Every structure is written in structure tokens, then in C-alpha cells.
């Protein structure tokens, strides 16, 4: 069998077993039913399903966009439902949930590795179970036992799907400005009225029901984010025995027409417009999750999971683009070496040209670095749930929170850059729809936007995570990086040189971060937050490349030599670029603050 063009199984195995020590996780009670054999079996299953069922429809769902039929229902290619039925039938949707809910209690890091196959093969179709999983996970964490059994379990089983309905046309990402209204009823339910925009998976006929998790305000709620509550609003009401009742007043207004990622419906929904009147009354029926006014706290459970998963999806699209570009460069012949002056000499492969190798090595360093970041965060999720001590669990939770904006934004920026380079390697062919790399770029362009833009993640990192608990998260991250540096310095050779360089950059980042907050002026500190995010992200990925290099050790073979080459590239070409960024930040530059919008 030749090299997969979807994902590298060898890289996944290296990261899981040679770096992250995933084989030790079955020693923890939650994962005791598993071992390396079951992990590999699930990876095999994921690879096979992704290759045989999901990848073949990736171009189809791009060219045959969803549309609303004459009956008002969303129409998708029949192959979408078939692919999702195969995924549900595999049991993979239940993998991370508790056994009492029908789950496998699989380590999250293994689940993340399995998911990369589907995200790479057809991210637009895999979005439906991905959203459903996050929806059910939130309900399991914050819902009542009755809400879990009524609404989460059917989603976990793959019979229903789920969304998060946050944004509104006038508010966008500014959730404190939402106006959807929820009025308490005598029976304990609520009636919701309002409009929700950009709701992925917001309407379709792929399952029996859709469970919307909706942010709204009660009539006496204060302004801003503290007045937001969270509600379960099903597409179809659910009877006491679990059967489906009448249609709830959640109405599809229209579909948004996207540049890419077209396999996932993206919707404008009206709640309570009177198209359906459950019980003869106006308003969509909803059920409060948690306490009034605490909705955003609960929703962040799903949003943070989604942010890491968005970064994983960006990585996956960058990774498959790299593999396609590598194959093309190995097969396509064009041009001759500069030293060859004989015009009759046969052309060489593209990969034999140094500049093409540079572009491929850049892609490799981005996508393999992003995969390491994704799986490292997955391992932290497992440590949050199952580490031996409360102290270790708390530390993992803090570090995961610190890394979440980076895990979302860094792959979204740099794996999109990898897709750009994949097109460049293909030349004019890459700009045509005849080659898959064109679609990968369009699909990936969404990821720097949804689940919080690049700028929003930057504000979260520098404005919240860095200063939270007196800078505990940043300090913990620095401690982890310094521990790796100490091992690298002791290892000798390139690892020592890289470790020394990384330590210098870390010291600079910590000093500059302190300068930004020195005067306690948030406008000044956060004016260039995106620059800080990019510098921090590059430092984190350099750290993870050093971790990978140490895991390689003295091992021989093309795979390990490739890891060494990618690490060298990142430390020689990429890590030094944070220097000018830190100089700019330390200067407390006011260019954007002093800019009059009328000058633009």
C-alpha cells in the first residue's frame, strides 16, 4: 500500500506511543478496559472509514452545495447520510463518553487521533458528529440527569444531532449584545423568541432530531454577558417517554453560501416567529441548563472544546494538502538542475529542486507541529480527568486553558499557509479545481474565523489567560518549556543548540509580556495582542518540535531523519521570526491606537 494522502499513520503512532506515552493510560481506572491493541484497532477503523467512505465524497459535497427544497427542508447529497450512518454504526461517536451512557471511555488523545482521519478526509461532513459530540459533552457536564437522558444520550448514540446557537446578525462574536428573549412559563419551561445567525448544522434531515443549545436573555436579565442564560431548544419536542412530539418553533430562514466547508449547512434561524405554535402558544419551547445568568460559563465548555477541534481541523486540512503536494512533487517532472547545461537532459522531479523542497519542508514543519499541539492538548484533557493527584489535574486544566487560544489559532493560521504552499508546489494546476489542493485551501480559510477569530483568541490569551490567577498559566507553561530545555541541553548536539535558542526566546517573551502590562493600561497592552499570540504560538510549537526531537533520539530511518529536518527548519527559519515581533511589542507601539479611522 502506498502512502496515504489523508493522514500519516506513522506520525500518529510516533506521537501517541513514542512521545506522549499513551500506552500508560490504561493504567488509570477510567481507561482500564483498553490497551495498545484496542487503540490500534480504532485507528485502523478510522483510517478505513475515512479512506473508503468519507474521502470519496469530499469533492461531491463541495460541488453539490446544500439547498432548501420546495418543501422547506434542507437537501444534501444522499452520500452524506450514508457516510454518517457508517460512522454511527462504527461506534466511534460514543468513544469518549462514560460507559453508563453507552460510551467506550476511550482516552481523549486517542479519540483526537482517530478524528484526524475524518477531518482530513471530509471535514464538512465530519462537522455534524463533531458538533453533536460537543453538544452532548456540555449537557453531560452541566445538565440535569433528566436532561442528559432525554437530550444527550440520543445525540451520543448518533440518532440525533446538536448545535450551539450563539451568534445573532447584529451581534456577531459580541455575545454580550445578543437579544434573543426567554420567558419563563408555569410548567418550568421557557418560550424563546429571536434570531440566530451562522449556526453550523442548524438544519438538515440527517437525524431524527436536532438539539439546539441556545443563548438567550430572560426579561429581567442585566445587560452584558452576565445576563445570558443557556437553553435546550429541540427541533422537535420530546415526549415523556422519549418519543418525538410536535415541531418546535425553530424555523430555517435560509442557508449561508460559503467559500468552502460547504458540506456543513450554515443557517439563519428564527425562534418563535409563529410558523409553529407548540401547545397553541407562540415561542420556541426551551429548557434552562444550569442557572439563569450562567449560560456563557456553561457554553464555554463546548466553545473551548470546539476551539481546539477547529485547530485540529485546520491541521488536518493542512496535513492532507501537504501529502498531496508531496506526491505531486515526487511524480511531476519539470526543469533541470542549474548546473546541468545540456538542454537535452531529461527533466527532473519537482522535489529535486531546492525551492520546492523548501516549500515542502515548511509545510511539514507546520502540519506536524500542529498535530503535535493537537494531541498534546488531547493528552491534557485526559490528565484533567484522570491524573493521579488533584494538583496534577488542576495543573493540566490550567495549562490546557493557556494553550486553547494557541491550539485554535496557530494551526488555523499556519496550516492555511501550508495549504497556500501546497497550491504553489502544484503551480498553475494547483489553482485549478482539477486538483484537490484548491478545495483544501477554501475549506481551511474558515478556520481563522469561526469559534472566535484570530483577534478574539489573541485577546483571550493576552487579556485573560496570561493574567489569570497572577499569571499562573503562563508560569506553568514556562516551567514545562524549561524542563524540556534542560533535557535538550543535557542531550547534546542539535538539541542543545535548539534548547539554548528556545530559552533565550522564552526569556524575551516573558519579559515583553510583563512590559505590556506594566502600566495596567488594557488598551495599550492589547493593541497588538495578535502579534503577541503569533509570537507565543511560534514559541510553543518550537517547544513541541524540541520535544519531538528528543523523542526521536538516536533512532535511524527516513521517518526520523524527516523529523530532524523539520525541527531544524522550524528552529532556523521560523523561531527567529518572533524576534522582531517581540521588539515591536516591547516598544509599546501605538500605531493602531493613534490611527484615526477617517484616515483609512
User: Is residue 205 flagged as an active site residue?
Assistant: no
Q: How far apart are CA 159 and CA 138, in angstroms?
A: 17
CB-count exposure of residue 231 (10 Å: 0-12, 13-18, 19+): buried
User: What element of type H or E holds 285?
Assistant: strand 284-289
Q: How far apart are CA 14 and CA 16, in angstroms?
A: 6
The superfamily in CATH containing domain 9-156 is: Acyl-CoA dehydrogenase/oxidase, N-terminal domain (1.10.540.10)
Q: What residues contact residue 590 under an 8 Å CB cut-off, 6+ apart?
A: 524, 527
Q: How far apart are CA 395 and CA 477, in angstroms?
A: 10
Distance of CA 431 to the CA centre of its chain: 26
pLDDT for 1 equals 52
Distance of CA 272 to the CA centre of its chain: 32
What's the distance, Cα to Cα, between the start and end of the chain in Å? Answer: 56
pLDDT for 304 equals 82
Strands 181-184 and 190-200: what pairing?
A: antiparallel
Active-site residue, selected from the candidate residues 79, 368, 451, 574: 451
Q: Is 145:182 a contact under the CB 8 Å cutoff?
A: no
pLDDT for 172 equals 86
- Coil, helix or strand for 458? helix
What pTM, to 2 d.p., does this model score?
A: 0.97
List helix spans (H) across 427-491: 437-444, 454-460, 472-491
pLDDT for 173 equals 87
pLDDT for 28 equals 98
Q: For residue 165, how many other CB atoms are within 10 A of its CB?
A: 28
Low-confidence ranges of the chain (pLDDT < 50): none
Q: For residue 572, how many other CB atoms are within 10 A of its CB?
A: 11
Per-residue burial over 377-402, b = 16 or more CB atoms within 10 Å of its CB, e = otherwise: bbbbbbbbbbbeeeeeeebbbbbbbb
| Domain boundaries of the chain, sorted by first residue | 9-156, 161-292, 453-594
Q: How far apart are CA 381 and CA 530, in angstroms?
A: 26
Domain 161-292 part of CATH 2.40.110.20: yes
pLDDT for 299 equals 86
Q: Is 413:448 a contact under the CB 8 Å cutoff?
A: yes
Q: How far apart are CA 142 and CA 127, in angstroms?
A: 23
DSSP output for 537-595? HHHHHHHHHHHHHHHHTT--SHHHHHHHHHHHHIIIIIGGGHHHHHHHHHTT--HHHH-
pLDDT for 521 equals 96
Q: What residues contact residue 419 under an 8 Å CB cut-off, 6+ apart?
A: 317, 318, 321, 437, 440, 441, 444
Q: How far apart are CA 540 and CA 547, in angstroms?
A: 11
Q: Rg of the chain over CA atoms, in angstroms?
A: 25
Amino acid at each position: 500500500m502506498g502512502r496515504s494522502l489523508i493522514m500519516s499513520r506513522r506520525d500518529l503512532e510516533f506521537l501517541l506511543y513514542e512521545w506522549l506515552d499513551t500506552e500508560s493510560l490504561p493504567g488509570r481506572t477510567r481507561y482500564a478496559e483498553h490497551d495498545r491493541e484496542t487503540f490500534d484497532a480504532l485507528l485502523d477503523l478510522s483510517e478505513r472509514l475515512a479512506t473508503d467512505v468519507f474521502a470519496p465524497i469530499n469533492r461531491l459535497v463541495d460541488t453539490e452545495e446544500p439547498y432548501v427544497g420546495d418543501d422547506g427542508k434542507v437537501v444534501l447529497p444522499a452520500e452524506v447520510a450514508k457516510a454518517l450512518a457508517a460512522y454511527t454504526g462504527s461506534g466511534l461517536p460514543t468513544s469518549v463518553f462514560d460507559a453508563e451512557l453507552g460510551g467506550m471511555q476511550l482516552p481523549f488523545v486517542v479519540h483526537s487521533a482517530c478524528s484526524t482521519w475524518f477531518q482530513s478526509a471530509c471535514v464538512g461532513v465530519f462537522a455534524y458528529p463533531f458538533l453533536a459530540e460537543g453538544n452532548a459533552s456540555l449537557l453531560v457536564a452541566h445538565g440535569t440527569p433528566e436532561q442528559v437522558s432525554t437530550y444527550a444520550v440520543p445525540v451520543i448514540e448518533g440518532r440525533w444531532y446538536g448545535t450551539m446557537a450563539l451568534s445573532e446578525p447584529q451581534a456577531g462574536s459580541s455575545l454580550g449584545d445578543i437579544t434573543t428573549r426567554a420567558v419563563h412559563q408555569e410548567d418550568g419551561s421557557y418560550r424563546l423568541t429571536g434570531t440566530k445567525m451562522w449556526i453550523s448544522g442548524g438544519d438538515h434531515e440527517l437525524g431524527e432530531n436536532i438539539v439546539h443549545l441556545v443563548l438567550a436573555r430572560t426579561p429581567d436579565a442585566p445587560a452584558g454577558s452576565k445576563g445570558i442564560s443557556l437553553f435546550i431548544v429541540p427541533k422537535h419536542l420530546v415526549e415523556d417517554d422519549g418519543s418525538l412530539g410536535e415541531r418546535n418553533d425553530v424555523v430555517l430562514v435560509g442557508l449561508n453560501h460559503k467559500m468552502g466547508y460547504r458540506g456543513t449547512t450554515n443557517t439563519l434561524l428564527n425562534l418563535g416567529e409563529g410558523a409553529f405554535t407548540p401547545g397553541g402558544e407562540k415561542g420556541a419551547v426551551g429548557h434552562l441548563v444550569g442557572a439563569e445568568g450562567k449560560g456563557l460559563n456553561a457554553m464555554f465548555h463546548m466553545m473551548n472544546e470546539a476551539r481546539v477541534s477547529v485547530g485540529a481541523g485546520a491541521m488536518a486540512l493542512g496535513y492532507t494538502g501537504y501529502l498531496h503536494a508531496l506526491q505531486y512533487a515526487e511524480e511531476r517532472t519539470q526543469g533541470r538542475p542549474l548546473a546541468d547545461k545540456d538542454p537535452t537532459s531529461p527533466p527532473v522531479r519537482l522535489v529535486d529542486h531546492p525551492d520546492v523542497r523548501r516549500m515542502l519542508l515548511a509545510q511539514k514543519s507546520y502540519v506536524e507541529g500542529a498535530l503535535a499541539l493537537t494531541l498534546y492538548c488531547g493528552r491534557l484533557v485526559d490528565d484533567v480527568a484522570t491524573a493521579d493527584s488533584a494538583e496534577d489535574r488542576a495543573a493540566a486544566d490550567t495549562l490546557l486553558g493557556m494553550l486553547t487560544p494557541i491550539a485554535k489559532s496557530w494551526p488555523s493560521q499556519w496550516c492555511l499557509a501550508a495549504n497556500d504552499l501546497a497550491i504553489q508546489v502544484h503551480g498553475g494546476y494547483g489553482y485549478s479545481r482539477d486538483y484537490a489542493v484548491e478545495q483544501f485551501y477554501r475549506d481551511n480559510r474558515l478556520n481563522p474565523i469561526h469559534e472566535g477569530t484570530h483577534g478574539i483568541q489573541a485577546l483571550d490569551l493576552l487579556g485573560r489567560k496570561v493574567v489569570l490567577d497572577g499569571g499562573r498559566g503562563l508560569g506553568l507553561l514556562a516551567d514545562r518549556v524549561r524542563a524540556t530545555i534542560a533535557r535538550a541541553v543535557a542531550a547534546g548536539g542539535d538539541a542543545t543548540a535548539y534548547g539554548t535558542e528556545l530559552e533565550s526566546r522564552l526569556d524575551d517573551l516573558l519579559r515583553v509580556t510583563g512590559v505590556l502590562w506594566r502600566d495596567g493600561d488594557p488598551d495599550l497592552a492589547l493593541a497588538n495582542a495578535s502579534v503577541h499570540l503569533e509570537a507565543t504560538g511560534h514559541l510553543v510549537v518550537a517547544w513541541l518540535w524540541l520535544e519531538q526531537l528528543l523523542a526521536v533520539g538516536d533512532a535511524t530511518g527516513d521517518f526520523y531523519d524527516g523529523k530532524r529536518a523539520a525541527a531544524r527548519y522550524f528552529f532556523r527559519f521560523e523561531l527567529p521570526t518572533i524576534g522582531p515581533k517581540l521588539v515591536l511589542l516591547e516598544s509599546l507601539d501605538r500605531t493602531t491606537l493613534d490611527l484615526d479611522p477617517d484616515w483609512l
